[in-house]
Amino acid sequence: MPSLSHDAFDLHSADQVPDSYSWPSSVLHDHPAAAPDSVDSIPVIDISSPSAASLVGAACRSFGVFYATGHGVPSDLLGDVESQARRLFSLPLHRKLLAARLPGFLSGYGRPPLSSFFPKLMWSEGFTLAGDPLDVSGDIWSHDQYSLFCEVTEKYKRWMKRVAEKLLNLMLHSMGLDDEMTDRAGLMKEMILAVDALQLNSYPPCPEPEKAMGMAPHTDSGLLTVLHQNGGAHGLQILRGENGSCPARWVAVPPLAGALVIHVGDLLQILSNGQFRSVRHRAVVNAAEHRISVAYIIGPPEHVKVGPIRRLIKAGQSPMYRSVTWPEYLAIRARLFDKAIQCVELPAK
């Protein structure tokens, strides 16, 4: 098969997987898949319940991921943002490329930024909104077409920020910090100016799913990620046992009606002094269904240094990580990818 440029190759109309998208079996099956309904079942937590903080803390320590219910986000808004994402990705490729992500910019259409670390391309397309959605959606649609997209995505981001702030507060409390302590730590006040982004992901049906990877394994760099998946289409998997407690295996995180999927990010691992672990995850593809996911990623303001909270460091212990800003950490990730967290580790005393 002739080689095909990513920009000229339309995943939606493919009848086979080009070599540039064909991953070695040794990578696709590096670890076995856990059996459904095993002990690896992802925790489901009602974050409005009185016991939410302790349950969230336990999930962050053990899994690095959990389902959140009781979040208050209107179900019709979840449907609306999914519908707008599907409308966007159903456009002809040449239209989507009008909003192609430019070098040095976060917003726009294109392949996942982590693609540069892998020799093969991923069976997915993404659209990142890191500021005003009009800045990129206006390149694709006329006013009457982009206005609804902008309205829905902006409303969704506002709701997601509320959810993220509630989750972060629960996480801090689960580590033994009361309201006064969290105020002193300063993070919740700083979150008013938090940096956030909305990542729309599309995984079209793949004619040869046994050859392709939807999204390569990675951790998220920010504090936490709030993910909405469209119902029925499976694909998200997390890696369990990576730290050697038991054999490593891929665990499915299927859609759960009305629930959001919460991921611990690298900066939260640093903030918690290693109590919480950022979760390595990937996306696999299938031949029948078009999977859509919407990820809300949040981190501290650009000027804020994130380091282990002092009150979490017990007598005789030392901080595990040095303090970094999010832009500084992203620069390290751009060079070292999944070795970035090791780069900010402090030597044991």
Return the beta strands (E) in 232-345 as ranges. Answer: 236-240, 249-252, 260-264, 281-283, 291-299
Rg (the chain; Cα; Å): 20
What's the length of the chain?
A: 349
Q: Going edge to edge, which strands form the sheet with 281-283?
A: 215-218, 281-283, 236-240, 249-252
Residues designated as active site: 291
Burial of 212 (0-12, 13-18, 19+ CB in 10 A): buried
249 Cβ partners below 8 Å, 6+ apart?
31, 32, 33, 34, 40, 239, 240, 241
- Residue at token pair 């064909």: 22
Beta bridge partners of 260: 68
296 Cβ partners below 8 Å, 6+ apart?
156, 157, 160, 161, 163, 164, 196, 197, 198, 199, 225, 226, 227
Beta strand 236-240 pairing with 281-283: antiparallel
CA 40 vs. chain centroid, Å, equals 20
**324 by DSSP, 3-state: which?**
strand
